[in-house]
Amino acid sequence: DRNVIVVNKPGGGGSVGWTYLKGKKGQGEYLAATSTLIMLNNLLGSSELTFKDFTPLAALQTEWISITVQAGSPYKNMKDLLDAIKADPASVPIGVGPTLGNNDHLLILRLAKAYGIDPAKLKFIVYPGAGGEIVPALLGGHIKATTIGLAEVLEQHKAGKLRVLGVSSPEPLAFLPGVQTFKAQGLDVVFPHWRGIIGAPDLTPAQVKYWDDVFGKMVQTKTWKDQIEKLGWTGFYQNSAAHTAFLTEQTGIFNDLLTAVGLKK
């Protein structure tokens, strides 16, 4: 066992901490938490860093994103919603927050594209307060739908005030009976909102193997499984090689989507 020292380096959507890590070249004891922001910050022009500046070590867990409407909405499933958007995009304002270009925004862009809708035609209303503003806006009828983390609407869905039309997971979620995945509704879209770990640049194969072993064992422990279940997360482990390939694939997908809607910098 070894002690772990946590050093907080807030700011820049993670970029401040990642810049610190970049300066620890070859030092395998330095790690940082990461997410899709390691790609999006660069694609949106807010950071010069990419995952290639580091050593991707693991994806660990994910939460899932939903498309949600009011309980009384005429849209009963994703086909209903996407048909309405295809017919008249301006008539279906979609709430997103805190900014465009994040995971939630990218999800609905992917769904629209998969359904043959030009993603650039979608109408968005941006709420800087994210879920804290979006949920009241949806309940109040100020928007017709939202693309949002499942955890932020789960309580209202279970209370019968909102309706989750679909989730971005590959399989149905046990704690969300009756709600289909997008794939089950004919949309070839799986979209994890994952969290992972990167190491400093230029780690050796031996250093990478060490962390593959550590994280590979950690995600099998009861402590880890109990904790992610408590938080409503799903295990999403990828070792270093798999995670590097995943990041490469995702960067290409995000680049195409952001370019299509004019957000790529």
User: What DSSP letter does each residue of 59-75 carry, written as one string?
Assistant: EEEEEEEEEEEETT-S-
Residue 22 within any structural domain of the chain: yes
Residue 6 within any structural domain of the chain: no
The 10s digit of each residue's pLDDT in 43-97 is 999 999 999 999 999 999 999 999 999 999 999 999 999 999 999 999 999 999 9
Question: What CATH number is attached to the domain comprising 224?
Answer: 3.40.190.150
Tokens 């209903």 — which residue? 80
**Does 135 have pLDDT greater than 90?**
yes
Residue 80 within any structural domain of the chain: yes
How many structural domains comprise the chain? 2
Q: In this structure, are 32 and 54 located in the same domain?
A: yes
Task: Kindly report the average pLDDT of the chain as a whole number.
Answer: 96
How far is residue 57's CA from residue 50's CA, in Å, rounded to a whole number? 14
From the list 112, 145, 88, the residue with the least C-alpha distance to 256 is 112
Q: Which residue among 151, 185, 219 closes a domain?
A: 185
Q: Which residue among 135, 158, 185 closes a domain?
A: 185
Question: What CATH number is attached to the domain comprising 84?
Answer: 3.40.190.10
Residue 98 within any structural domain of the chain: yes
Q: In this structure, are 126 and 67 located in the same domain?
A: yes
Other C-beta atoms lying within 10 Å of the C-beta of residue 10: 8
Q: Which residue among 185, 211, 226 closes a domain?
A: 185
Asked whether the whole model's pTM tops 0.75, one would answer yes
Residue 205 within any structural domain of the chain: yes
Q: In this structure, are 172 and 240 located in the same domain?
A: no
Work out the burial of residue 106: count CB atoms within 10 Å of its CB; fewer than 13 is exposed, 13-18 middle, 19 or more buried.
buried
Range of the domain at 110: 63-185
